[in-house]
Amino acid sequence: MKTIVLWLKRILKWVSVSFLALLLFYGVARFYVVYTDSQIEGARAPYFQKQAAEAISVLWHSDEAEIGVVRYGLSPDDLNMQAGEPEAGEAHELRLTGLKASQRYYYAVGNDEAMIYGGTEDDWFMTAPATGGEAAVRLWVIGDSGDPGEVQRAVRDAMKDWVGSHPRQGRPYLDQWLALGDNAYRSGSNQQYQAALFDAYPAIFKNIALWPVYGNHDDRRWTFFDIFSLPEQAESGGVPSATENYYSFDYANIHYVMLDSQASDREPGGAMLNWLQKDLEANTQDWLIVAFHHPPYSKGSHDSDDEGDSGGRLVEMRRQVLPVLEKYGADLVLAGHSHVYERSYLMGCQYGDSAEFSRKNIVSEGVEGRNAKFIKHKSERAMPHSGTVYIVAGASAKVDGAKLDHPAMAVDMMEAGSLLIDVTGDQLTVRYLNDKAEVKDEFSIEKKADDSWKAYRNPDYTGCPL
């Protein structure tokens, strides 16, 4: 009997050691895969980050270490200004400063021996307008676009067709470009980013700065933070966040807040919400647009009522983050993650499950129909719970089956597409454009200084309890 017990102990010890060895091997192998997939390798054409009224950053990659140089000017035939790096490298980033607001600049990029990219009429960038000033702004928003293929290309080309048919006098085809996370499936590796982002939108990258949020698929590798250079020190306006996970920036009379619903602390008193409070307290712009990945309201391919969905992130964003956003008069909140399109009423104070939603949460139903209009008083920019429109737009590369029965949603559909947003002075217009360049949903928010907004206000709206 003692011999059997001894042998059993030896077997258990061997199994334990073998299991620990297997775990160690798996951990090392996993680290190796994540590390190698996250490395930036090979040449990559120039793209722009941290756009501001007086500055912009130019990023690119080279096959070999070299001293990066950017030449730029007001004409492609006269690139009379230059910025260069102090030492050689393969990953390049140069901050161009001392620029004029709302100015088109042409550029060429290369090294201290030759220019490799640019130098034509098609190679230009625009600086942002002066902060606080009114300007015609056109914004393109893509969500969950990281699956390269026919759907992604159709959505991209539909946007190009529509803006080509609706040009703006004296303005570029786009001013800004936002991405709502899951920018490269399935793991956010460098190779997948190349296929799903840089190879998919090369012509847009030549001119327009991209502002991304962090999604769950981006979180599977480290590439996101190597590719993007985001304004953690408020280089483009707002309050410094000291992290690239979340940040803010200004463009004309719009303040943008880009939150991290994936990896950052979502609890009150945590670093992100403490920063958010400070940033919104300091904001003085007319419009407040917020973006993050996990939608607070959705019955798409993800269910915002399910506390187990996505580790509870949808529920936590609704319960813990929305009260802060609505306190400071957020006008528009954009999310992805669900591969559908959903758009709410002008609403507020709904932080529970969908069964708790009622007319008491609807600030305004607007004018029903294709061209719904919501009216807000202009002074309500900083007033608590004056009404927010919530949008889920996660179908820029694929569409998934869904119930689409959330009562807060005035419009929902399983149709691939993207958002085009035009802001001019006191009016913001949002269009959901499908992959055939058809406007499938359109609404506007208008801010008025007189009392005409009262005619649109739902008398049943109770606001939030004190």
What confidence score (pLDDT) does residue 96 get?
A: 98
Would you say residue 461 lies in a domain?
Answer: no
Would you say residue 466 lies in a domain?
Answer: no
CATH of the domain at 341: 3.60.21.10
Which amino acid, one-letter code, is at 78? D
Are 106 and 219 contained in the same domain? Answer: no
What confidence score (pLDDT) does residue 384 get?
A: 79
Are 286 and 431 contained in the same domain? Answer: yes
What confidence score (pLDDT) does residue 465 get?
A: 75
What confidence score (pLDDT) does residue 2 get?
A: 63
What confidence score (pLDDT) does residue 11 get?
A: 66
Domain count, the chain: 3
Would you say residue 463 lies in a domain?
Answer: no
Are 120 and 168 contained in the same domain? Answer: no
What confidence score (pLDDT) does residue 462 get?
A: 87
What is the distance between the alpha carbons of residues 30 and 32, in angstroms, rounded to a whole number?
Answer: 5
Of 101, 126, 151, which marks where a domain is finished?
A: 126
Are 96 and 198 contained in the same domain? Answer: no
Are 166 and 57 contained in the same domain? Answer: no
Would you say residue 157 lies in a domain?
Answer: yes
Are 186 and 263 contained in the same domain? Answer: yes
The set of residues, in sequence order, having a beta carbon less than 8 Å from that of 17 and lying 6+ positions away, is none
Would you say residue 116 lies in a domain?
Answer: yes
Are 117 and 141 contained in the same domain? Answer: no
Structure tokens at 111: 């090294």
User: Can you list the residues of the chain whose pLDDT is less than 70?
Assistant: 1-2, 5-40, 368-370, 380-383, 466
What confidence score (pLDDT) does residue 451 get?
A: 79
What confidence score (pLDDT) does residue 28 get?
A: 41
CATH of the domain at 108: 2.60.40.10
Are 1 and 83 contained in the same domain? Answer: no
Of 126, 149, 182, which marks where a domain is finished?
A: 126
What confidence score (pLDDT) does residue 177 get?
A: 98
What confidence score (pLDDT) does residue 377 get?
A: 81
What confidence score (pLDDT) does residue 330 get?
A: 96
Are 116 and 144 contained in the same domain? Answer: no
Are 28 and 64 contained in the same domain? Answer: no
Q: Give the residue numbers spanning the domain of 4.
A: 1-38
Are 147 and 190 contained in the same domain? Answer: yes
Torsion of CA 76, 80, 85, 86, to 10 degrees: 170
Q: What are the backbone dihedrals phi and psi of residue 38, each rounded to the nearest 5 degrees, phi first?
A: -90, -10
- Three-state secondary structure string covering the chain: CHHHHHHHHHHHHHHHHHHHHHHHHHHHHHHHHHHHHHCCCCCEEEEEECCCCCCEEEEEEEEEEECEEEEEECECCECCEEEECCCCEEEEEEEECCCCCCCEEEEEEEECCCEEEECCCCCEEECCCCCCCCCCEEEEEECCCCCCCHHHHHHHHHHHHHHHHCCCCCCCCCCEEEECCCCCCCCCCHHHHHHHHHCCCHHHHCCCCEEECCCCCHHHCCHHHHHCCCCCCCECECCCCCCCCCEEEEECCEEEEECCCCCCCCCCCCHHHHHHHHHHHHCCCCEEEEECCCCCCCECCCECCCCCHHHHHHHHHHHHHHHHHHHCCCCEEEECCCCCEEEECEECCCCCCHHHCCHHHEEECCCCCCEEEEEEEHHHHHCCCCCEEEEEECCCCCCCCCCCCCCCEEEEECCCEEEEEEEECCEEEEEEEECCCCEEEEEEEEEECCHHHHHHCCCCCCCCCC
Look up the pTM and report it.
Answer: 0.93
